[in-house]
């Protein structure tokens, strides 16, 4: 954070919708920059930390957008995004002027919805960006997220100080929906990688090796990945708490597979990962972290490590 960006953001009216595992940490980072934060969430209690630090609660999205210059959304599902914008109490129900306001959807959602959002908000004079992120709960806390942005280019440049607070790698990909398409690439990579991480650690366990030593051997070589170093360690600690929920990952993979189908593109690796995660959900693992795929593969192999 530079001194100039801190001065620029101080006192700015900013809205935040969605205070889940990642959204709460991201909103806290903005709050530390002395913005005037206005918050809405499906469950008010989950925004309590922000409210205790001076954030203002707003009951409805249509009321929130009237109070702020910029509003960020980090909600769970495309349906939630749709509700915040098009629903009975959504942004577009506001009867006040929306020209010049910026709406940033950081939810992983569908590219087609991002196109619709951009078009409809644009008719009211508002600028919009689809800006999904990668980096999990750790990246949200530390401000090291990768942010993939599509939408209005002027709005992208206007928010340069916000990107600096929330992320480390920020790439503008082009028009509405392209940020979401970039995130589908990201999720496809993670899905198949998590199969490899889980299978490799099961292999090490089954052969009787010390999995921590194995991890030390392979994580800095050609097999290195964020998932291996970060989530592999959580697996070995039997820590399956969510940095990102299985339920939400299943949603993301479903979007990617749907987009691939439209392009007549076969993705067998992603399809396999989707099926394995659905099996994990059926076993009651929907609210676990994505590293819990290891548990599903344990069950398939009748292993209790």
**What is the pLDDT averaged over residues 84-88?**
97
Q: 162-171: per-residue pLDDT in tens?
A: 999 999 999 9
Query: Residue 3: pLDDT above 80?
Result: no
> In this predicted structure, what is the pLDDT of residue 10?
84
Percent of the chain with pLDDT over 70: 98
Question: Can you name the CATH fold of 182-300?
Answer: 1.10.1040
Architecture of the domain whose range is 3-175:
3-Layer(aba) Sandwich (3.40)
Q: 195-243: per-residue pLDDT in tens?
A: 999 999 999 999 999 999 999 999 999 999 999 999 999 999 999 999 8
Q: 271-291: per-residue pLDDT in tens?
A: 999 999 999 999 999 999 999
Write down the catalytic residue from 101, 183, 281, 295. 183
b/e per residue 252-263 (b: at least 16 CB within 10 A): bbebbbebbeee
Smallest CA-to-CA distance from 105 within 125, 133, 141 is with 133
**What is the pLDDT averaged over residues 149-156?**
96
Instruction: Say whether 182-300 and 3-175 share the same fold.
Output: no
Domain residue limits, the chain:
3-175, 182-300
**What is the pLDDT averaged over residues 28-35?**
94
**What is the pLDDT averaged over residues 146-150?**
98
Q: Is 183 a catalytic residue?
A: yes
b/e per residue 184-198 (b: at least 16 CB within 10 A): bebbbbbbebbbebb
**What is the pLDDT averaged over residues 175-190?**
97
> In this predicted structure, what is the pLDDT of residue 110?
96
Query: Residue 4: pLDDT above 70?
Result: no
């Amino acid at each position: 954070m530079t001194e100039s960006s801190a001065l620029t953001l101080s006192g700015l009216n900013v809205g935040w919708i969605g205070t889940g595992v990642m959204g709460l940490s991201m909103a806290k980072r903005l709050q530390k920059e002395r913005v005037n934060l206005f918050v809405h969430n499906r469950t008010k209690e989950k925004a309590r930390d922000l409210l205790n630090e001076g954030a203002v609660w707003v009951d409805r999205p249509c009321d929130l957008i009237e109070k702020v210059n910029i509003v960020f959304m980090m909600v769970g599902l495309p349906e939630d995004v749709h509700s915040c914008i098009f629903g009975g109490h959504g942004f577009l129900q506001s009867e006040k002027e929306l020209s010049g306001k910026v709406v940033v959807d950081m939810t992983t959602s569908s590219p087609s919805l991002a196109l619709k959002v951009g078009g409809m908000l644009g008719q009211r004079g508002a600028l919009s960006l689809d800006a999904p992120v990668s980096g999990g709960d750790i990246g949200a806390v530390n401000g090291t997220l990768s942010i993939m942005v599509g939408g209005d280019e002027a709005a992208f440049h206007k928010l340069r100080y916000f990107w600096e607070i929330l992320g480390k790698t920020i790439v503008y990909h082009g028009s509405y929906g392209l940020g979401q398409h970039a995130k589908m690439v990201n999720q496809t990579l993670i899905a198949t990688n998590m199969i490899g991480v889980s299978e490799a650690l099961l292999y090490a366990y089954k052969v009787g090796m010390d999995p921590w030593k194995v991890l030390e051997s392979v994580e800095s070589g050609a097999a290195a990945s964020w998932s291996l170093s970060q989530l592999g360690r959580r697996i070995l600690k039997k820590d399956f708490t969510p940095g990102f929920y299985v339920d939400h990952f299943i949603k993301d993979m479903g979007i990617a597979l749907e987009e691939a189908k439209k392009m007549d593109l076969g993705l067998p690796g992603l399809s396999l990962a989707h099926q394995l995660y659905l099996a994990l959900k059926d076993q009651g693992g929907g609210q676990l972290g994505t590293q819990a795929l290891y548990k599903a593969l344990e069950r398939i192999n009748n292993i209790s490590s």
